[in-house]
């Protein structure tokens, strides 16, 4: 695996290669089985697989979340080498945002899509995501971009970004990878205490309850599903919404094949998100 830290170096390297299929997996590191599933999919479908690791400061609205974001460079590199990734792009903050003014992400606009759910709870989060993803896409110029369904709203935003930028890149949305008891894999899971980890399993229980009762009255089923989470005294539910999977606007009943149920909850101070397509 070749590691690049400078944009110009990776660009020059990629330019020298003849037309080959490039698959790209952007990450913020602290890699887990969820990332590996994206990498495996990318390996199957491309000649060359590039992974990036960059903890992007402009997408964190909470400075504590940023400073506490897990960093595991050594084990990440080991994992990527074992997964036979071809290139790792691992720039510094200064490489991506050399000047203070470069941190400004005001010129991205995704309308209502960035104002609901995660966008409502984390102001300017998606502008920051769009900012770094556009920089990375310009650097790597991939043919396929691999994203996980756990960050479903991020997928919709990046889809819109790609249209806005007029880029010819295909997004491959990969299913959520879960632990044995259903908790969605996340880099933040390492911050959960054993008790919090146990209670975090209720997130998937609630989503499964909704799935199993999807033909019943939504209001009632949602109330019961929410209770599965809020029964824990260390869980602070931010939202539990049932929305249209394309526009993210709230639905009054489940429309088969068109519905997304999504949750954000802080368990013992650790913010977790999850969703299910119904
Ligand atoms: O999903 C993530 O890890 C990040 O939001 C991404 C897409 C790598 C941008 O920083």
pLDDT digits (tens, 9 = 90+) for 82-100: 999 999 999 999 999 999 9
Residue 161 and residue 131 in contact, taking contact as beta carbons nearer than 8 Å: no
For residue 65, what pLDDT is reported?
84
Q: Check: pTM over 0.75? Answer yes or no.
A: yes
Nearest residue (by CA) to ligand 1, atom 1, is 27
For residue 256, what pLDDT is reported?
87
Compute CA distances 128 → 131, 225, 227, 251, whole Å.
5, 32, 33, 28
CB 31 less than 6 A from any atom of ligand 1? no
For residue 19, what pLDDT is reported?
73
Q: Which of 32, 35, 125, 197 is catalytic?
A: 35
32 is catalytic: no
Nearest residue (by CA) to ligand 1, atom 6, is 27
- Residue extent(s) of CATH 3.40.50.620 domains in the chain: 2-174
CB 132 less than 6 A from any atom of ligand 1? yes
Q: What does residue 237 show for φ and ψ, rounded to 5 degrees?
A: -75, 120
Which residues fall within 8 angstroms of residue 2, CB to CB, at 6 or more apart? 13, 86, 87, 88
Identify which of 237, 223, 242 has the alpha carbon closest to the alpha carbon of residue 271: 237
- Residue extent(s) of CATH 3.30.1300.10 domains in the chain: 187-277
**Cα(212)–Cα(233) distance, integer angstroms:** 25
Please report the atom of ligand 1 found closest to the CA of residue 59: 10
For residue 15, what pLDDT is reported?
95
To the question of domain 187-277 being in CATH 3.30.1300.10, the answer is: yes
Tell me which of 103, 129, 188, 275 to substitute to probe ligand 1's pocket, judged by most ligand atoms within 8 Å of the beta carbon. Answer: 129
- First-to-final CA distance of the chain: 39
CB 91 less than 6 A from any atom of ligand 1? no
**Cα(39)–Cα(94) distance, integer angstroms:** 27
Compute CA distances 170 → 21, 84, 142, 244, whole Å.
11, 22, 9, 22
Helix ranges restricted to H, the chain = 7-16, 33-45, 63-67, 73-82, 93-96, 117-121, 125-140, 152-164, 194-212, 218-230
Tokens representing 153? 């709203």
Residue stretches of the chain with pLDDT short of 50? none
Angle at Cα 177 formed by Cα 196 and Cα 88, nearest 5°? 105
For residue 139, what pLDDT is reported?
98
Q: Measured over all CA atoms, what is the biggest interatomic distance in the chain, rounded to whole angstroms? A: 59
Please report the atom of ligand 1 found closest to the CA of residue 26: 8
Candidates 3.40.50.300, 3.40.50.620, 3.40.50.2300, 3.50.50.60; CATH matching 2-174: 3.40.50.620
């Amino acid at each position: 695996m070749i590691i690049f830290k400078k944009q110009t170096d990776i660009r020059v390297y990629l330019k020298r290669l003849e037309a080959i299929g490039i698959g790209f997996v952007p990450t913020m590191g602290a890699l887990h089985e969820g990332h590996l599933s994206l990498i495996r999919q990318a390996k199957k479908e491309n000649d060359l697989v590039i992974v990036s690791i960059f903890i992007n400061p402009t997408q964190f609205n909470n400075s504590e979340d940023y400073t506490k974001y897990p960093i595991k460079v050594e084990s990440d590199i080991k994992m990527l080498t074992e997964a036979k990734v071809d290139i790792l792009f691992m720039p510094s903050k200064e490489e991506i945002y050399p000047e203070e003014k470069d941190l400004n992400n005001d010129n991205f606009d995704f309308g209502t899509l960035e104002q609901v759910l995660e966008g409502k709870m984390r102001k300017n989060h998606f502008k920051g995501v769009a900012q770094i993803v556009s920089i990375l896409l310009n650097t790597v110029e991939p043919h396929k971009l691999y994203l996980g369904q756990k960050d479903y709203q991020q997928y919709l935003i990046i889809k819109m970004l790609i249209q806005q930028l007029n880029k010819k890149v295909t997004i491959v949305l990969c299913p959520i990878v879960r632990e044995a008891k259903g908790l969605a894999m996340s880099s933040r899971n390492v911050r959960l205490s054993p008790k919090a980890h146990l209670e975090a399993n209720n997130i998937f229980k609630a989503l499964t309850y909704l799935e199993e009762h999807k033909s019943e009255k939504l209001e009632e089923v949602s109330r019961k599903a929410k209770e599965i989470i809020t029964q824990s005294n260390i869980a602070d539910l931010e939202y539990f919404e049932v929305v249209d999977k394309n526009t993210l606007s709230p639905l009054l009943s489940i429309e088969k094949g068109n519905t997304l149920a999504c949750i954000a909850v802080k368990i013992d101070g650790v913010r977790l998100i999850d969703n299910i397509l119904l």
